[in-house]
Every structure is written in structure tokens, then in C-alpha cells.
Amino acid sequence: MPINLKGRSFLTLKDFTPDEIRYLLNLASDLKSKKRAGIHTRLLEGKNIVLLFEKTSTRTRCAFEVAAMDEGAGVTFLDSKSSQMGKKESMADTAKVLGRFYDGIEYRGYDQAVVEGLAKNAGIPVWNGLTDVDHPTQALADILTLMENTKKPLNKCKLVFCGDTRNNVAYCLMYICCKLGIHYVGWGPKELAPADDVVAYCRKVGEETGAKVEFGEDIALIEGADVLYTDIWASMGEEDKIPERVAQLTPFRVTKEVFEATGNPDCIFEHCLPSFHDFDTTMAKTQKELGYDIREVTDDVFLGPQSRVFDEAENRMHTIKAVIVATIGNV
């Protein structure tokens, strides 16, 4: 059956079938090749989108803006400081108003219920640009990057997420891996294990797709990985947890030795970014002065030959473009 995602929201990968996810990945790859070849597809001519951010962003905001502008759409950016959103006007009313002006809404914030509420009230597609428990556009970019770096079929690949295995990025990777039959391992401390219902969901999907879903503290779990992945230890809004996270997660920092434990010379390193891999940021520097080394990965891995983090960042744009085009575009 041909895939048609027109009019659909993109709130979580749980809502999409494996074929729909593969369609988005292939569309992203196609749009990427066309952009590289200088072919202007202009698939969003006459459309307008609005980007709502209640948390900060570099990649997601810029990816949505460039993706939309490449295809001929108009873009408005709104944050909580410069709009009525959430303070003087409920999110439901905001959604109803924006739904009259625009063809699609991107939302980044805290509670997944907010992005779901926007989708319920807007009457137009809503795209999740990150919440506390999900980051679905990120996972598409991460798997596109894997596809570009392996000759294996995805259902023969293994992805290991190191560190805070119950954060938004870990969850979206669990969802995409279980849908696509990718062996997923969460290597991190038991205090930061994923919620039981998330694990149960992924294992159930994995029964149909063949995806194995494992967790634990044993470094032996890393063996044979095709992707070693990590993220910062305290996500946006959790900065007060840094001292306890450093104590819990230091054994799970991705170092050269950890990377070598994969035993796979073709294993690549991925990271959603932003990353603490040195002390060149005010946050890493300040925390170091307080006695906390918040680096989740060392420079030899982050800047090493197996790192694909900047290709992955570029792929945020191509995959986000695919999501927008598939749901509101002229395809």
C-alpha cells in the first residue's frame, strides 16, 4: 500500500508503522540528494509554519527554518517570552488561533501532554520538537546517519545508548529501534533505568519486528555495537540534578576504552548534541570549578575518526524536511 502521511501530526514514533518510518527515512535521503545536486523541489510553496519553543534550541529550530525555507514555506518563530502562549492564553486557545493562520506547528517544551493538546486543538499537523519524554525528529536523523554508515540491513544492527537511559533521546531511540528491528541496548545505572511501561511497549513491538531490547550496567552489553550513542547527563530543566548525575553516570562516560569494548572497528559514535566533551562551555567550566566533571564523552571519541556527530546534526535538517513535506507538502 502506498504511504500517505498527509494531515498527520508527528508527536511520537509510537504512532507510526515501520513502513511509515522507512518512508520518512527514504524521503529524507532523497531530499538530501536533491539538495546536494542543487535541485530545488519547492514542495512547500504557499505554506506557512510556526515554531513554538518553551526550551532553547540550536539544531531543531534552525533545521525547521532551513527545511521550510528550502521548500518555499514561510516561517514564524515564537518563544514563551515574546508571546502570550501559556501565560495569558491557554495552549488550547493558542492552538486554535495558530490553526487559522498556519499549515503546521512545531512545538518544543516540557510536558508531552502539551504537544498532544496542540494537535487535538489546532486542526493542522503538529510536530514534536522535543519534550521531556520524547524527541522523535532526532531519532529519524540518528537512524538516517546509521543507514549512511553501514552496509548491513537495519534489523542486523545494534545501537547502544550510554548513560541516562530514561531521558527523551533514549526513549525515542528505543521506539525507532524496536519499530525497525534494531537491537537496542541501554547501558546505564539501574537508578536511571527506563520506565516499565516504556520497556514493556518496546519489547512487545520487538516481538513482531525481531528487535531485542536490553538494559544493564555490564560493559559486556556493548560488545558488537554498530552505534555507540550518548547524550548529556542532565537534560534541559534538570540542571539541579548535576551533582547526583555525575556520581551515577561517571562510570558510563564514553571514553576510548569504552568505545574499544565494542570490538567492532566499524562502530560509529553518535550524539544528539549539544555535548559536553571538553570544558569550553560556561556550564562545563562552572561545574568543573564546583568539582563536577560533566563530560559524557571524551574528546578522543567525540573528535575521533568514528564520530559522525556533525553528519548527524546535518541530517536533522533533511529528516525534519521529510516530516514537514510528508505531512503538509505538495507531494
Residues that bind ligand CP (CB under 6 A): 57-60, 130, 138, 272-274
Q: For ligand NVA, which is the closer residue by CB, 142 or 231? A: 231
Select which of 8, 61, 135, 277 is catalytic: 135
CA 68 to chain centroid? 19
At its nearest, how many Å lie between ligand CP and the CB of residue 113? 20
Select which of 59, 231, 271, 318 is catalytic: 231
- Neighbouring C-beta atoms of residue 78, cutoff 10 Å: 18
Whether residue 276 contacts residue 284, with contact meaning beta carbons closer than 8 Å, is answered with: yes
Whether residue 143 contacts residue 329, with contact meaning beta carbons closer than 8 Å, is answered with: no
**Is there binding between residue 169 and ligand NVA (CB under 6 A)?**
yes
Return the residue of 106, 231, 296, 312 that touches ligand NVA, per CB under 6 A: 231
The sign of the torsion formed by the CA atoms of 92, 93, 98, 100 equals positive
CA 314 to chain centroid? 13
Q: For ligand CP, which is the closer residue by CB, 130 or 192? A: 130
> Which residues, 6 or more positions from 174, have their beta carbon under 8 angstroms from its beta carbon?
161, 184, 186, 194, 198, 199, 202, 213
Q: For ligand CP, which is the closer residue by CB, 165 or 167? A: 167
Return the residue of 137, 235, 264, 307 that touches ligand NVA, per CB under 6 A: 235
At its nearest, how many Å lie between ligand NVA and the CB of residue 55? 7
| Contact partner, 167, from ligand CP, ligand NVA, none, Cβ < 5-8 Å per class | ligand NVA
* Residue 213 grid coordinates: 531490547
Helix (H, G, I), strand (E, B) or coil at 268: strand
Identify whether 202 is a catalytic site residue. Answer: no
CA distance 209 to 13: 15
The sign of the torsion formed by the CA atoms of 96, 101, 102, 107 equals negative
Select which of 157, 172, 202, 272 is catalytic: 272
**Is there binding between residue 236 and ligand NVA (CB under 6 A)?**
yes
Identify whether 318 is a catalytic site residue. Answer: no
**Is there binding between residue 168 and ligand NVA (CB under 6 A)?**
yes
* Residue 90 grid coordinates: 491557554
| Contact partner, 168, from ligand CP, ligand NVA, none, Cβ < 5-8 Å per class | ligand NVA
Q: How far is the CA of 330 from the CAs of 9, 251, 273, in angstroms? A: 16, 49, 31
* Dihedral pair phi/psi, residue 271, rounded to 5°: -155, 135
Identify whether 295 is a catalytic site residue. Answer: no
Q: For ligand CP, which is the closer residue by CB, 91 or 140? A: 140
CA distance 155 to 288: 41
Q: For ligand NVA, which is the closer residue by CB, 23 or 233? A: 233
Peptide bond into 194 cis (omega under 30): no
Return the residue of 31, 176, 261, 272 that touches ligand NVA, per CB under 6 A: 272
Identify whether 248 is a catalytic site residue. Answer: no
| Contact partner, 262, from ligand CP, ligand NVA, none, Cβ < 5-8 Å per class | none
Q: For ligand CP, which is the closer residue by CB, 81 or 100? A: 81
Catalog residues that contact ligand NVA under the rule CB under 6 A. Answer: 167-169, 231-232, 235-236, 272
Active site residues: 108, 135, 138, 231, 272, 316
